[in-house]
């Protein structure tokens, strides 16, 4: 399989192309983001061509006049590659490469390539590879112009050499996808066992979500530094697109014995390839099964409202739009007024880099996931001393007194524990 035809890693100079449909807002930012994606793949953007239209040209994505203009610009700027802002159909790739005599790639393959570079765990690598192969499968004709014309007639023996090779490639890809999906199912089953164990322990799950590079991983590290300084379980945090692909889960223990699990997930981006969303769906199940979402927003980015909209739409695709959410407006230190840390309804303004605002964020988390806690006093008979140890570990014990009939604890505990040991409670506030 000649994968180099779609791999952008070795490309040097490119022109980015986009169509703005019906003056849709956010187009300029989408083009800027496309240039950033190209840069993340090591591609130098040397030119840009845009067109306003009511609909995308079905044959060439852009109009015939723009195709000629694009070809001239590419020749003038010595650009070997043209990158399109939207996912191209197989016929569009074939037609454009023929007309431009240049390598043609789209936004989807750029994102897939970044994911392929950043994937570290076996599961993430398998997910990305499945997504890339699913992208390639319908585009084999456009990606392999060297195969020549396909032969006519029916039956394999009547086909041209190009079509025979094409069918072999297709079969090989389908078999590889099938094998990798089987491997993924085993990894997913293992994670589901872990998730069920957490649910059995009734530990709330809080998931960090948001646009790529909003600071989710930095915020997780800030929470770990504040509440788990000895854990040494920091996550990778870099100022780059899609720095984190793996879902990292860390336990956060608060001073009053309340504990929740914090999950850091892959960042979202506009026009996130559906192949990728589908491939990473198992990883993103942490989001859809969370008790609370922390929607991390880069408050200093002028396009933050667009980022919020994209994240909400992606959460809807994942079936997670009904989960309660609070908003962490990160990088508040970069805002002109820099009025932080502060809480404004469901929003907390903070800076993950400095750690300021983390305490306020935890206050919001407490209110949402520990709202069902019960306060009172429990009298535990001496022959059930194990329960004293249990409450000391799983509840916030304010005082302990030893009486004639047993140990009296003044505490705050989960409603589930209250129901389980209701007969031992002598007072409920």
Residues 6+ apart with CB under 8 A from 286: 195, 205, 207, 247, 249, 263, 265
Are the beta carbons of 168 and 117 closer than 8 angstroms? no
310 is in an annotated binding site: no
244 is in an annotated binding site: yes
80 is in an annotated binding site: no
319 is in an annotated binding site: no
Q: What DSSP element (H or E) covers 142?
A: helix 140-143
330 is in an annotated binding site: yes
Is 160 strand, coil or helix? coil
Residues 6+ apart with CB under 8 A from 416: 202
The Cα 126–Cα 183 span in angstroms is: 8
| Chain-centre distance for alpha carbon 364 | 23
299 is in an annotated binding site: no
3-state helix, strand, coil in the chain (%, to 5): 45, 25, 30
Residue with tokens 């806690």: 373
The Cα 165–Cα 156 span in angstroms is: 11
331 is in an annotated binding site: yes
142 is in an annotated binding site: no
The Cα 144–Cα 163 span in angstroms is: 11
215 is in an annotated binding site: yes
213 is in an annotated binding site: yes
357 is in an annotated binding site: no
217 is in an annotated binding site: yes
The Cα 293–Cα 307 span in angstroms is: 16
The Cα 24–Cα 270 span in angstroms is: 14
The Cα 93–Cα 297 span in angstroms is: 35
Is 407 strand, coil or helix? strand
**Cis amide prior to 341 (ω within 30 degrees):** yes
247 is in an annotated binding site: no
266 is in an annotated binding site: yes
> What are the residues facing 407 on neighbouring strands?
380, 402
How far apart, in Å, are the Cα atoms of 67 and each of 6, 70, 72, 267, 339? 20, 5, 9, 34, 50
58 is in an annotated binding site: no
Kindly provide the residue ranges of all beta strands, DSSP E only, lying in 35-179, ordered along the sequence: 44-53, 81-84, 103-106
Q: Which residues are annotated as part of the binding site for Mg(2+)?
A: 217, 244
Q: Which residues are annotated as part of the binding site?
A: 210-217, 244, 264-267, 330-333
Q: Which residues are annotated as part of the binding site for GTP?
A: 210-217, 264-267, 330-333
């Amino acid at each position: 399989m000649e994968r180099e035809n779609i791999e952008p890693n070795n490309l040097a100079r490119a022109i980015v192309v986009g169509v703005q449909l019906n003056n849709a807002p956010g187009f300029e930012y989408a083009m800027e983001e496309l240039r950033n994606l190209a840069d993340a793949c090591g591609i130098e953007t040397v030119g840009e061509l845009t067109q306003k239209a009511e609909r995308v040209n079905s044959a060439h994505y852009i109009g015939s006049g723009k195709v000629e203009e694009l070809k001239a610009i590419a020749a003038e700027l010595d650009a070997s590659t043209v990158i399109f802002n939207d996912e191209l159909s197989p016929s569009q790739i074939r037609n454009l490469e023929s007309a431009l005599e240049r390598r043609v790639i789209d936004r989807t393959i750029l994102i897939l390539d970044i994911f392929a570079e950043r994937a570290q765990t076996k599961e993430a690598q398998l997910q990305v590879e499945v997504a890339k192969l699913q992208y390639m499968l319908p585009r084999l004709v456009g990606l392999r112009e060297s195969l020549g014309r396909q032969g006519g007639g029916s039956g394999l023996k009547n086909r041209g050499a190009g079509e025979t090779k094409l069918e072999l490639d297709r079969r090989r890809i389908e078999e590889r996808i099938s094998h990798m999906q089987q491997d993924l199912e085993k990894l997913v089953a293992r994670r589901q066992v872990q998730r069920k164990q957490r649910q059995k322990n009734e530990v709330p799950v809080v998931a960090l979500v948001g646009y790529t590079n909003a600071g989710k991983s930095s915020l997780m590290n800030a929470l770990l530094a504040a509440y788990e300084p000895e854990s040494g379980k920091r996550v990778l945090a870099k100022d780059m697109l899609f720095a984190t692909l793996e879902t990292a889960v860390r336990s956060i223990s608060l001073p009053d014995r309340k504990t929740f699990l914090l999950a850091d997930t892959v960042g979202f981006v506009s026009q996130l390839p559906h192949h990728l969303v589908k491939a990473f769906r198992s990883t993103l199940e942490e989001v859809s099964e969370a008790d609370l979402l922390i929607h991390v927003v880069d408050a200093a980015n002028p396009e933050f409202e667009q980022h919020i909209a994209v994240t909400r739409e992606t959460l809807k695709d994942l079936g997670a739009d009904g989960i309660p959410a609070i908003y962490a407006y990160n990088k508040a230190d970069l805002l002109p007024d820099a009025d932080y840390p502060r809480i404004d309804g469901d929003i907390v303004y903070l800076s993950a880099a400095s750690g300021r605002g983390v305490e306020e964020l935890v206050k919001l988390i407490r209110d949402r996931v520990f709202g069902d806690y019960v306060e009172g006093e429990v009298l535990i008979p001496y022959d059930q001393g194990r329960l004293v140890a249990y409450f000391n570990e799983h509840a916030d014990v304010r005082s302990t007194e030893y009486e004639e009939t047993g140990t009296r604890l003044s505490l705050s505990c989960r409603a589930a524990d209250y129901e389980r040991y209701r007969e031992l409670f002598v007072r409920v506030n």
